Structure 1
């Protein structure tokens, strides 16, 4: 059985993964690996046998290094990681090392001038070593002469740190305190740096007087790593693994060359583990040539000391919706708002886009090929062709010049598990696949909704199957892409984009799926199934009170008439009004204003079902609704029961009647005797009701928002032949309102401060629903705002004294609600304001700088703050 059980991420992410090694321990094996900062360095020095782990299986990165341990580390580094044959002196060099475990290592380093005592004949083997002391030892190990380079005397530390910085010993240790004790984590990094540093070469010169002098210079190609371990460093691009290329199981391929080479490139195949998500990135392979292999490149005959990702290649991870196709600058594309140059055209046919690691045909570019040829594209066109509204993963590779050179695309699809046994699982749109040979999550079961990615080609094809993310809630809005698809849906206030703006499946996990959202789905409960955040399937989970609407207006047309069709205006539970052209009605009786209905289909051709006819209305008792018992005329109400109400004294079926919708559980007791009402009861609970009231019921709360009209966008068509005047309004966020264009009461003015109750579709029958300017609240001159105490002090007028404005009369102080809404506006520029806080008015110009709105208890619930300082707020 092929071993294809490799974990793959659904999103291409840049993760540093360590390669397979053939000797020593691995940093990944240490029990405290998550605490290791310098993972690559620890990996290398432990692999080379220079630093061992602790007896309990940990590395102990925060433990301090003593002087004896450092002597051992350097001894091993200078002897290729092996324990050398060492001896001891009859009389030890230092008085405090006799019989200690590190005596031979200390003597070895002392004999080479790497270490020195304290000047009093002692070495202090158990004392902590500092960064500077360790650097001095490593520099001498690299061939630096202590006397020549000033590592002795009063300035030894200054000179040591200068040379250590130049040699790169402190690379990656920017926060190191050189005079402080050195940790095992930082010691590994310092030794790693020393291994990769060029050695100092000492060249003798015979003088004319017979003496010998020496010059010192850095080697151009010899490091401790190459000199003591026979190691070579191969750097190149990760091309793929055994699944994506024709390699042995457990092998990877990297194309590059030795760091000592300046030209040429070779593809090296060797045993290692690099996640396929790192494809296209640069890796450093440290190895020792073995017998029988290919010289100067890693292969199966070699000792692989380590495989590490470098920072030589940059990547940009994105989803297709972040790729702009409207950016027209030649040779450049825009990804997530950032512009990138693309590589210049080449005369040779070159792969620009690899799709699903070879599972799909690659996109090839060739400067000599016709751009009209189906198999060839320009680089820019190749990358832009990936754009789309979906959750696929795109990984762009950038070269050293910052130009995009290649892209790797991974595509995902949604499916339902239709069958499963111990060996196979069957997924809609995929078929039956072997569980053992594919990456499938545990406990997969029938009717699971899953995300599937098909990777690799031919015999190596592998499916990655994960359980789909789902979110549930109430649909409050949507955007139609065309007659058959949706582009966006709003669920509990969060907007989700529909995968590829395509029709969703009609069947999902045994349930009926919604292929496209329509007006009948507003306020319905849904479960959305997501692929990397994009909606790929939708299932309506319940028929709730939110599906009921109230007929608030109608014409005299008929269902069967082409010239004069029956049209009705219905109001949903959130107050949204929709004009329906009725293609079918049930029962066949006449639809009347005040009827509670449900409807299906499109607004232009809707089937309307009367659930409670106003002609059959009952008469209420004095205790119509009891808040404590949650009952309407003695019958318990559902938690989401909608109460429609006519709240003016005009009466039902009168032009200009004012209808509102409420969640009845949010209201207080409603006591009204001998008033007509209707109700819809499901499973013993009232789910929708309508009552003819003269005023708003007690406890009704406002959902009003406040803001400034920032732009007139002109006339737009919404729906079937309905024209609206469209405006932008800043309410703390950019909002859009559309007022039905009738020629009267249909306009707003840029700069108007407004208060209104939003509808889910942003459409309004006239401008009378917008309270404007001074009518929305009290214009004030702020004196002070104590945010901690939630107190606002202000004046309602000012007067000029001694050249400055001061408040007139006594200042007023009001409590501010904990959930106060604060909207910043620039009334001078008719735009959104800066969030400057609620500051005192400017006494130089004397402009009113805020409007406040209070509730019935006088508590401030909303504050509009003028931020320009150039005019009154209104």
Structure 2
């Protein structure tokens, strides 16, 4: 069930202001955050008083002009402004605002600077806006109400009725839309009044003004609709008791309702609804807020002695009532007393504590909100918001949900911090990340990274929400941990900057490397190694097991052992290695003397010889040192036998295994290079001649510094633009042998018998829903022969676009499966270059090559009818072009009978079927042109013409040509796609 949390836009205000977390979806406007008066903005939007612009923005920080204020007042008071058009006395009001200004002026809501000047383009001030609102409530009906200073009088009376509550503006300052919304909501919640003016006396000579003052009395009624916003009672001018008539109750006939409730955290809150439809639930402003330690004395001081001695207290933690703290006396919530400096209820860094004191009901509510840690496992785009699914990494409240709807997009595998009220997620934010070396640590308290101190979130210093103390260990999801000094770690912070989770606190597979070769130069030791990510490098060794590495002679050396695993640290450009015995880890060797190994996909057991030597799990990392392929988890590794290598075992579990297998494997993706420029730059490298191809791409990315070939024979093999496989390299990783795998372009003469046409013979028959099917196995460039493959977000689609009738490469880039066209006409060439495991029935494609033909290419079909066939003129190509007016020109066409020109062709009909591309080919029309051929020639180099009136510039079209007469029958001889030029 989707937990849409529209109600919490304001409910989390204090969390958001301090921590800037993301609340649930449902906010009215994209530019409104919890720092704005969300309650007021959403209520006024619902009743149509204030709305946003066409871009979905409310513009809360924009100043409100006096003209705009007239619109707001007219909307709120439901004036039929069209009835007042043309009646405003002011000369400076624009036509769009005039009816609104006129309506408000007629009802005495506004006045001008003078008889003719309204000043509508000026920003409205807090005093001006409040006066308009109070006049709507019935105040300031007489001049005597203003005294000597109308602004002071307005502010004084507005404060008496809490009209400025939560409004952040001074008397003469311009008001923003955010503050006007709050002022308007406060007005709707206020009761209306009527005036009793005893300053006016009547004597025999007429009306005269004497002493006395204007008094304002509440309007009351016994109609229950006047309980909709506030059920308070009052006395009218005639001393009648009843419910006070709030302005919002009168204006909306009781359909706008406001109820006192609690939010999901237990905080006092207000729920607004209109016509029985809930607008939202909004927490009250706290009397005191803490995000650090709260002592028992702090709590007592903030609540006050009266609340401590006389009120009933209720304490919530994450929306649940704390045990034995439900409507208890003040002294019952403190363990040590009102003067104690002891920490109360495990409050502290990153724990939000809020105090609410209700002197009317004599209640005190305290809410405590902790931060939880989770990983995003799924993000679903709903169109107007996202549903985020999480997996908790910290402990969680009982029955806490794992889905959250939000307007902000998160990504899979994001580490997030969140708050929970009851069972529902209330807010979520991506955890801030810092990286560094641990310089000092105090367990369950703080950690210093490179000298900067990060306090633990208090909830991770105790067991109040978690089963153990410590930071969430993201390397081991079931544990909490504290790092060690010198650990290289990634620290995850809550929205207050406190630590909640960590990576790298324990040994990881990234700490290991495998030695495949050892060398020395001038006594210095180097080694060729494979790291845990499959990267192969040649490194210089500084120390081995804390002692300098050296090689002074055959028998006088301290070097790493080939075929062994070492832990490593890098110091500068050199490496320090630690052997299994020195670093105290268990190493398993697979070789001829100890026994070769075996792993099987979906089998957790790892064997050495016939013995089961250990168990792999879903986190075990397997590295093939022959081709640097890496798998994670026993369900993903390719089955291999006769393994030579080594593994690390921890408590019976194989954590990492470096292996080489005699069974061999397919080539890797970096063995394939697409070359779009065949003229290399010749480079001299210490007397060696190297050939540098600067227009070369690996996995769709241009090779930085160029693709280097170090042998002239390999250079001579690169003769056309296409995909090459490197079959042999020298010690510097330069290619010495290559072979052409896919010839991507036709030759310069447009010969389609090889090159591009051949490239398009391998195509996809299906390419969607994670399945890619080729027409046959020839497009599989791996060691397998499959024609069906799976693909995912990690599959790289290398797209090559051709130009100039497929004789040249236009561009090379990383695209997607959408670049594959399976339509029989104009389809793309498709080749699967590498897969994860060529032994699978439907292997996962890693790299796919997609060749896109020139969209203006026209291809001559080899169609015939018995002895008769349509061909191009000798030495030329059939050409079809179209101009901006839809006129076609066909050139270089003749008819043969057998191998000879058919000289008696005579009258013929040319039919052109024209199709328009619109997410597929739709037939537009068929145009026919009758003419008499000159001997065998249908169209010479000057061409014949026909036209279509249905085409527009920019149309992508496909044309199929058929030639007919009574002798040759119907011969379809040409299909080509093209674009109508721009006019």
**What TM-score range do you get, normalising by the shorter chain?**
0.3 to 0.5
TM-score using structure 2 length:
0.36
Tell me: higher relative CO, structure 1 or 2? Use CA pairs within 8 A at least 6 residues apart. Answer: 1
TM-score (norm 1): 0.40
Query: Larger C-alpha radius of gyration, 1 or 2?
Result: 2
